[in-house]
């Protein structure tokens, strides 16, 4: 059974990984794990943003919007794994939480970006298209966008396989403010 310092380490490691992310699904793989509320409780957690992770004794508390808190006791294994959706599950996995990626999608239905130009479109003064069909502008919009997004710790990229047009995604980190936490508990200041 994990001791208090190990539980604290898990809370401090898990918190920045899931804080600010929205739960889009919870899959219960081991029914005895759930106490109180049942599957209806888990379904009610979907769409809620995680506001923080704390330790109380040997339990982890995952505080979410709407004054909801998931409480986990680490039992004997004392393990939380944060893995990508495509990574294989461990045979001892008991519960899977899926989070939205937090990306903003910007799409158009224009001619798209030719494969040979995709690596260059975020460079200054580069524009897509051929010499006859070059768009108007200076070729600074995407480089400036990338600079701004990266300044705030985010990422911007072109989705590789779009049927028609171009699809850009922007991801920015989000952290719940104390005001958001107060709103979720009903405390209005």
Q: How far apart are the first and last CA of the chain?
A: 41
pLDDT in tens, the chain (189 residues): 678 888 898 889 888 888 888 888 888 777 766 676 667 778 888 889 999 999 998 888 999 998 888 888 877 666 676 666 556 777 777 778 888 766 677 777 777 777 888 888 888 887 766 666 666 767 788 899 999 988 888 888 888 776 677 888 887 765 544 444 444 444 433
Distance CA 154, CA 163 (A): 26
Q: What is the bridge-based pairing of β-strands 50-56 and 59-64?
A: antiparallel
Alpha carbon dihedral 125, 110, 151, 100, in 10-degree steps, equals: -160
Please check whether residue 94 is in contact with residue 107, taking contact to mean a CB–CB distance below 8 angstroms: no
Confirm if 48 and 56 have CB atoms less than 8 A apart. Answer: no
Name the strand (E) or helix (H) holding 170: strand 167-171
Beta strands in 17-118 (DSSP E): 23-28, 50-56, 59-64, 68-73, 95-99, 103-107
**Distance (Å, whole) CA 14 – CA 29:** 20
Contact residues for 17 (Cβ-Cβ < 8 A; gap 6+): 82
Look at residue 64 in the predicted model and tell me its pLDDT: 92
Which domains are delineated in the chain? 4-99 (3.20.190.10), 103-171 (3.30.565.10)
**Number of separate helices (H) and strands (E) present in the chain:** 4, 8
């Amino acid at each position: 059974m994990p001791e208090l310092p190990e539980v604290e380490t898990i809370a401090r490691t898990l918190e920045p990984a899931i804080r600010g992310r929205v739960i889009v699904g919870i899959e219960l793989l081991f029914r005895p794990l759930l106490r109180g509320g049942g599957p209806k409780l888990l379904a009610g957690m979907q769409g809620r943003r995680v506001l923080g992770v704390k330790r109380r004794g040997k339990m982890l508390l995952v505080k979410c919007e709407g004054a909801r808190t998931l409480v986990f006791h680490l039992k004997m294994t004392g393990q939380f794994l944060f893995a990508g959706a495509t990574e294989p599950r461990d045979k001892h996995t008991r519960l899977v939480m899926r989070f939205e990626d937090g990306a903003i999608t910007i799409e158009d239905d224009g001619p798209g970006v030719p494969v040979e130009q995709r690596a260059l479109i975020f460079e200054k003064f580069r524009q897509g298209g051929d010499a006859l069909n070059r768009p108007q502008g200076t070729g600074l919009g995407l480089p400036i966008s990338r600079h701004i997004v990266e300044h705030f710790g985010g990422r911007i990229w072109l989705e590789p396989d779009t049927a028609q047009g171009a699809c850009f995604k922007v991801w920015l980190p989000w952290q719940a403010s104390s005001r958001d936490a107060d709103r979720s508990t009903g405390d209005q200041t």
